[in-house]
Amino acid sequence: MRKDIGMETLDYDVAIVGSGLAGLRTAIEVLRRDKGKLGLKVAVISKIYLMRSHSVSAEGGTSAVLYPEEGDSFELMAWDTIKGSDFLADQDAVWRFVHIATQEIRLIERWGVPWNRREDGRIEQRWFGGLSFPRATYAQDKTGFFEMRALYDTLLKYDNWDRFDENFVTSIVIENNEFKGFTAIDLKTGNFRYFRAKAGVIATGGAGQLYRITSMAVSSTGDGYGLAYNAGLPLKDMEFVQFHPTGLVPRGILITEAARGEGAYLINKDGERFMQKYAPSKMELAPRDIVSRAIMKEIMEGKGIYDEKSGLYHVWLDMRHLGKERIEQKLPFIREIGLKYLGIDIVDQPLPIRPTVHYNMGGIHVDIDGKVLDSTGTPVKGLWAAGEAACVSIQGSNRLGSNGTNECLVYGYIVGNDIYNYIEKERPALPSPSQNILTTEEDRIFGKLLGKESGGEDVYEIRDELKDTMEKYVHVYRTGSDLEKAVVKIRELKERYKNIRLTDKSRVFNYNLEHALELGNMLELAEIIARGALLRTESRGAHARLDYPNRDDTNWLKHTIALKGADGPLFSYIPVKITMWKPVARVY
Amino acid sequence: MGEDKKEKRYKTGLLRSLWPYNFNAERYSYTLHRITGVILALYLIAHVFEIYHFALGPVAWEQTIALLGSLGIWEKIGLWIIAGSALYHGANGLRLILNEVFGMLLGKPVLPEYPYTPTSLSRNQKIAIYVILAIVIALWIWAGLYLLEGLGII
Amino acid sequence: MKVRIRRYDGQKEWWQDYEVDVKSSDTVLDVLNKIREKQDHTLAFRLSCQMGSCGSCGMVINGLPALACQTRISELKTDSIRIEPLYNYKVIKDLVVDLNEFVNKHRSVKPWIIRKNPEELEEAPIEFKVTPEQNLTFVQFDYCIMCGICLAACPTVAIDPLFLGPQALGQAYRYIADPRDEGFEERIDILDDSHGVWRCHFAGACSYVCPKGVDPAKAIQFLKKEILKYRLLHKKKAATKPAELVEKAPPPNAPKPPPFDFKFEGGV
Ligand SMILES: Cc1cc2nc3c(=O)[nH]c(=O)nc-3n(C[C@H](O)[C@H](O)[C@H](O)COP(=O)(O)OP(=O)(O)OC[C@H]3O[C@@H](n4cnc5c(N)ncnc54)[C@H](O)[C@@H]3O)c2cc1C
Ligand code: SF4
Ligand code: FES
């Protein structure tokens, strides 16, 4: 540890921001490959305690081909993923992904995940939306939680790493297209830190907090996107925000798709199983975009139920016919949530649900190895991204349920290996950035933000207005005029953000400061999402426009790339890699 | 790094440890077990002291007896408390041996079900605690009566 | 509703009262959020998932350690709330306590699968067979979200800060009971220690407050039994039958993709 210019500099070989499934898996992979050979030192940085990352909330399952002898195949999983993505996925990446997923399920099995089992002891799998074979591997309805536990515990086994709990990363230091480290605030002391590293990984998860009704944790504020964007790196496909069909009214707590996988029904005001209108063959198990749209359609047509307490419309999710025993075996957490938050026992009452924000298909523009690409499409030396923060793109315009956790695992593996190979082959030296980058950043936070005495805007007011705007105008169904209103409002909020003043001036655990920095990222993202959605004049996957209801493959079979410009984002487009299947109409 | 601030533990220490308010029956019984244990330990020291004087010869022994006699009724009350402590500590100790050595009264590992009621604090455990209390109190009253009888009060 | 919060800013400690409008469906965490967002931006407390699965929001509510996001106002049945930081921990600011010791205790019991042949944990084509019954022997203890609430309730932690505590011991048992694990003998010296299992006198407070039904007290008593069996009868853990390994053909690593516009037999 070296002290200079009033800040701490910490030297590592690999610095990983984010300790969700993707971050932990990457760390393990680097250490596992290394086994002391190069003696790589790894830093795992997270703004909350490592084991508290949002991945613990993942419930339903993780897809992988485990039983080809029973009729599953890699081709089938690839096809499901690509069709589910509404053909916006890069097919070469999907093909690689489906193979590694199998190996990952087995690996974490041996690291302690208590998968649900068949009678003979083999791993059990179940149905999930949009699958043509029951291949969602699960551990009750706490799959992500158990995976996180196994990875976290396994990481503890290794010695050559340090944990940085509650360190908020504020910027990526990049010079001449070369990664030079991260700057961070140690929340516990309020000190400014510079993590100097040969390789960096961004695994900061999604940005569900842009919305009011969300299933995502408070820590999912999309910082990683903001960091990359502010460092001049492109973001891909950000307008595709997944709405999970079944969020518990009023707050949007997730009721896992596994409920429908086990056979739950969706029912409208008239007691009708309305999914037969929208997806006659798959019914409730159609992909999420289709089910979410269906629910919103029902509500728009006046077939929703009005909930007086929250003032929201909803439909019912009915599990009564499953029986108590099955519910306790397979869906205990859903039962707990119902009882705890609404006093409803799913054994004898249906749950009120409506779509809730769930996942960001888009993310930092990376190549098939997880290397972060710059605006010209060349990799930034020494920087990778993985998990929800990255967009390879495997998920295209709509992620299939149970394809998120395995993307994190697979890309943790790929990126970990790639980093190891890079360091082994190139033997890079520790970077030395110009000091003024670091001092400018320190000044931005502590001088210009914390130390600012003028202005009167309040962080939380702006955040509330932002959430309401997104909820109102950039929801499941979008229209040009709504999106325009959203853009205007967001720009106004961005102006007001320049004028904020913090009330908490302390250094130790200054959450006010953290929230202000997060809000800065969120505002940028909101603008990218709304403007990207406004430009994309078609409906594809999670992006559904009422004024352009059809998919338009001639003009829009391409990825959106957003770059930071002087005045808001600049958009360009790149082609989708189609190597296996031509787009066809998507019926379920 | 920022070590200037004093960090201290919140609401900890011996008294907190013995303060079961708001918690479960087992924690009350834990408090009682500890307190009775301390009483017994003190008694043991006093007892060794007494025996030691007996070994010193008749004069010393006479003196000790006189000292105890001068306590009057407090000697009996003391004995009564010690008897109660021994009864409770012994009986509850048996329960703990069942728990800790034989793994009994704990239930099996289960799939936790909401609302979570831990099997180790389940009905069996509670019954054991109440049965112990009932027996101990009954015997303790009996011991009290016996001591009173010795005093010639009844 | 009146809310009393124990505050600490690094120098002084004080109680602060707030008056908050609440709905009966609100949780204590919602109330704290309202205070932080609308009344007092300086209030520090942790939160993340808001659905009781990350373990961030442990605090003492009306004298009982609990998760704020799992405690509904209507369940409290009082007309005022008293909120304090977790007992037995060092407080850093307001409701934020220092969890580093806690995390290190967890690590010290080697909470990972140990195999005599570590290669078995590395090669992908293998898989363990674990029957549903075998699964049951440890899954309960795997529910732990590391909230640290149990240590705040534990009377032994109050007098011995070095005591490993219910969470770490519970996790040690979780791995020992796992049919895939072979590390009992490696862990036994850590557990069989004056700050280990024998410090526990079974007050059961940990199991009483645990928000996830982990029942660490049960795990600790089982541990004592296993350790006694090992020391006195030289018996290795027999509680669970070891899991069988199945060898599977390795999946081909990215074989050639199917021909362009490949059609599935029978269609999908
Ligand atoms: C309720 C819910 C249920 C889900 N269920 C499923 C499912 O059943 N199956 C499935 O496949 N997928 C599911 N998903 C999706 C899946 O959980 C996520 O895609 C995945 O967990 C993302 O993991 P991650 O590692 O990318 O990021 P996260 O787990 O979100 O971790 C982000 C990390 O980054 C850190 N971080 C963020 N910003 C900063 C910063 N500025 N400085 C420092 N650190 C920072 C955070 O502290 C955290 O550690 C679900 C998602 C939700 C919301
Ligand atoms: S055992 Fe229970 S109370 Fe203790 S840390 Fe784990 S979940 Fe929390
Ligand atoms: S916020 Fe995650 S447990 Fe309460």
**What pLDDT digit, counting tens, does each position of A62-91 carry?**
999 999 889 899 999 999 999 999 999 999
Q: Where does the pLDDT of residue B2 fall: very low under 50, low under 70, confident under 90, or very high at 90 and above?
A: very low
DSSP 3-state of C163: coil
Mutation to test the C interface, candidates A70, A111, A117, most C Cβ within 10 Å: A117
Record: contact C23-A506, CB cut-off 8 A: no
* Minimum Cα–Cα distance from B11: chain C residue: C87
Ligand 1 pocket check for A47: Cβ under 6 Å: yes
What gap in Å lies between CA A561 and CA A62, rounded to an integer?
A: 29
Give the pLDDT score at B74. Answer: 86
Please tell me whether residue A367 adopts helix, strand or coil conformation: coil
How many angstroms separate the CA of residue C188 from the nearest CA in chain B? 16
Number of residues in chain C: 268
CA pair distance A475, A355, nearest whole angstrom: 9
CB-CB under 8 Å, C54 with A340: no
As a whole number, mean pLDDT of residues A414-433 equals 95
ipTM of the complex: 0.94
Instruction: Give residue C46 CA to ligand 3 midpoint distance, Å.
Output: 8
pLDDT above 60 (res B95): yes
Give the three-state DSSP class for C182. coil
A513 in reach of chain C (CB within 8 A): no
Does the distance separating the beta carbons of A328 and B111 come in below 8 Å? yes
CA of B80 relative to ligand 3 center, distance in Å:
50
Q: Which ligand is nearest to the CA of A104?
A: 1
The span from the CA of A205 to the CA of A388, in Å, is 5
Determine contact, residues A284/A266, Cβ cutoff 8 Å: yes
Q: Which segment of C7-21, C152-166, C225-239 scores lowest on mean pLDDT? A: C225-239
B6 pLDDT more than 50? no
d(CA A4, CA A297): 59
Strand spans (E) along A67-177 = 125-126, 136-137, 161-164, 167-175
For ligand 3, say whether the CB of C211 is within 6 Å of any of its atoms. Answer: no
Catalytic residue among A25, A52, A260, A531: A260
Residue C180's contacts (CB-CB under 8 Å, 6 or more residues apart) are A110, A112, C113, C115, C128, C130, C242, C243
Residue B4's pLDDT is 42
Q: C61: which strand partners?
A: C64, C83
Whole-model pTM?
0.94
- Residue A312 scores a pLDDT above 70: yes
- Cβ–Cβ under 8 Å, residues C215 and B111: no
Q: Is the pLDDT of residue C268 over 80?
A: no
Q: Which pLDDT belongs to residue A138?
A: 94
Is C150 or B59 the better-scoring residue by pLDDT? C150
Average pLDDT over chain B reads 88
In the reported structure, the alpha carbon of residue C145 is separated from the centroid of ligand 2 by a whole-number distance in angstroms of 6
On the 0-12 / 13-18 / 19+ scale of CB atoms within 10 A, A377 is exposed
pLDDT for A454 equals 85
Q: Which amino acid is at A280?
A: P
3-state helix, strand, coil in chain B (%, to 5): 70, 0, 30
In the predicted model, what is the mean pLDDT of residues A98-106? Answer: 91
Q: Nearest C-alpha to atom 10 of ligand 1 is from which residue?
A: A402
Residues C33-84 pLDDT 10s: 999 999 999 999 999 999 899 999 999 999 999 999 999 998 888 889 999 9
d(CA C116, CA A191): 44
Structure tokens at A497: 């953000």
Q: What is the pLDDT of residues A323-344, one digit of tens each?
A: 998 888 888 888 988 988 888 9
Q: Which amino acid is at A257?
A: E
In the predicted model, what is the mean pLDDT of residues A223-242? 96
Determine the 3-state secondary structure of A250 from DSSP. coil
Q: Do C177 and B109 touch (CB under 8 A)?
A: yes
Q: Give the pLDDT score at A581.
A: 92
Please indicate whether residue A358 is annotated as part of the active site: no
- pLDDT at position A341, please? 86
pLDDT reading at B8 higher than 90: no
Question: Which pLDDT value is given to residue A414?
Answer: 96
Band of residue C234 on the pLDDT scale cut at 50, 70, 90? confident
Of A8-17, A62-71, B6-15, B98-107, which has the strongest mean pLDDT? A8-17
Determine if ligand 1 sits within 6 Å of the CB of residue A361. Answer: no
How far apart are the C-alpha atoms of C266 and C259, rounded to whole Å? 17
Give the DSSP letter of residue A531.
H
Find the mean pLDDT for residues A413-429.
96
Q: Please, are residues B51 and B65 in contact by the beta-carbon 8 Å criterion?
A: no
Statement: residue B3 has pLDDT above 60: no
Given a cut of 50, whether residue C127 has pLDDT beyond it is yes
In chain A, the percentage of residues whose pLDDT exceeds 90 is 84
Chain CA centroid to CA B87, Å: 8
B112: nearest CB among C143, C157, C224: C143
d(CA A224, CA B102): 53
**Type of residue at C118:** P
Give A222: exposed, middle or buried? Use CB within 10 Å, 0-12, 13-18, 19+. Answer: buried
Judged on CB neighbours under 10 Å (0-12, 13-18, 19+), A204 is buried
Is A122 an interface residue toward C (CB < 8 Å)?
A: yes
A260 is catalytic: yes
Instruction: Retrieve residue A220's tokens.
Output: 């999912």
Write the residue in A190, A191, A332 that is nearest to B114 by C-beta.
A332
Mean pLDDT on B19-25: 92
Q: Tell which residue, A216, A284, A129, has the closest CA to residue A470.
A: A216
- The neighbour count for residue B97, using CB atoms within 10 Å, is 11
**Ligand sitting nearest the alpha carbon of C207:** 2
Neighbours of chain A (3+ CB pairs under 8 A): B, C
